[in-house]
C-alpha cells in the first residue's frame, strides 16, 4: 500500500483507539489526507466490466476502509448502510442520488421518490449517518473511471464484506402518490392488501 494510505489507516486506528472515530472526525481525516495527495496503488484502482469493484483495505471492530472503482455507467442498487459512511473521491466523479420512502396510509405498498442528488469530483468528501434514512444509489455518470475511498463505522466483514444493510426494490416515482406520507423502512409495511 502507498505510504499515504498507510498513514491514513494508522490515523483512523489511533482515533478509534482513543474513542473519537465518528463520521465527522473520519471526514476531517480523509479531507486532510486527500489534500496531501492521497493515492492508491494501481492494482487497487482496477475496474471490472461486470460492475463496480470493491477492495477491503482494512477491517476491524470499529471501522472498515474500502477502495471502490466505478467504470462509466456503473451503479449500485438503491440501498442503505449498516453504519455511518464517509466517502472521498480520488479520481473521476460519482453521482449520489438520495431517495425517500413513501406510503399511502392504509395501503401496504411503498414507493421511493428522489430526494436530492450530489455530484462529487476528486477531492470532495461526503458523509452518510444512520439512523437517519440514508437510502441512496451511487453511480459513475462520467466518461472515465471513478475511484473513491469509503470509511464505514463498522466491521463490514461481519456482514459478508458488504456495508449494505438493505436493498430497496420499491418502484421509483417522480413524486409521491396522492395522500402518501414519508415513512421509514423500520415501520411495518401496513395491513395486508385485501
Q: What percent of the chain has pLDDT over 90?
A: 70
- The pTM (predicted TM-score) of the whole model is 0.87
Closest CA to 70 of 158, 147, 164: 147
Report yes or no on 136 lying in a domain.
yes
Report yes or no on 31 lying in a domain.
yes
pLDDT at 194: 46
pLDDT at 1: 78
pLDDT category at 193 given cuts 50, 70, 90 is very low
pLDDT digits (tens, 9 = 90+) for 84-128: 999 999 999 999 999 999 999 999 899 999 999 999 999 999 998
Report yes or no on 109 lying in a domain.
no
Residue span of the structural domain in which 62 resides: 3-98+120-169
pLDDT at 14: 96
81 is in an annotated binding site: yes
Report yes or no on 13 lying in a domain.
yes
Report yes or no on 192 lying in a domain.
no
Report how many domains make up the chain: 1
pLDDT, average across residues 44-59: 91
63 is in an annotated binding site: no
pLDDT at 131: 64
pLDDT at 28: 97
- In DSSP notation, 111-174 reads EEEEEEEEEEETT-EEEE-TTS---EEEE--SSS-EEEEEEESS-GGGGTS--EEEE--SEE-S
136 is in an annotated binding site: yes
pLDDT at 165: 80
pLDDT of 43 above 50: yes
pLDDT digits (tens, 9 = 90+) for 141-153: 999 999 999 999 9
> How far is 52 from 75, CA to CA, in rounded Å?
7
Report yes or no on 58 lying in a domain.
yes
Report yes or no on 177 lying in a domain.
no
CATH number for the domain spanning 157: value is 2.60.120.10
pLDDT of 133 above 90: no
Greatest alpha-carbon pair distance for the chain in Å reads: 61
> How far is 53 from 184, CA to CA, in rounded Å?
29
Report yes or no on 176 lying in a domain.
no
Amino acid at each position: 500500500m502507498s505510504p499515504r494510505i498507510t498513514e491514513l489507516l494508522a490515523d483512523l486506528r489511533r482515533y478509534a483507539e482513543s474513542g473519537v472515530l465518528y463520521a465527522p472526525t473520519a471526514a476531517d481525516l480523509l479531507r486532510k489526507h486527500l489534500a496531501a495527495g492521497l493515492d492508491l496503488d494501481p492494482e487497487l484502482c482496477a475496474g471490472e466490466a461486470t460492475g463496480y469493484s470493491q477492495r477491503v483495505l482494512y477491517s476491524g471492530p470499529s471501522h472498515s476502509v474500502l477502495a471502490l472503482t466505478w467504470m462509466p455507467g456503473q451503479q449500485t442498487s438503491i440501498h442503505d448502510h449498516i453504519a455511518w459512511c464517509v466517502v472521498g473521491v480520488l479520481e473521476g466523479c460519482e453521482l449520489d442520488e438520495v431517495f425517500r420512502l413513501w406510503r399511502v396510509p392504509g395501503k401496504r405498498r411503498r414507493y421511493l421518490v428522489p430526494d436530492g442528488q450530489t455530484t462529487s469530483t476528486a477531492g470532495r468528501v461526503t458523509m452518510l449517518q444512520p439512523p437517519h434514512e440514508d437510502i441512496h444509489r451511487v453511480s459513475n455518470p462520467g466518461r472515465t473511471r471513478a475511484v473513491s475511498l469509503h470509511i464505514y463505522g463498522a466491521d463490514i466483514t461481519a456482514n459478508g464484506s458488504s456495508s449494505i444493510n438493505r436493498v430497496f426494490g420499491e418502484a421509483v416515482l417522480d413524486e409521491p402518490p396522492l395522500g402518501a406520507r414519508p415513512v421509514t423502512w423500520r415501520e411495518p409495511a401496513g395491513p395486508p392488501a385485501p
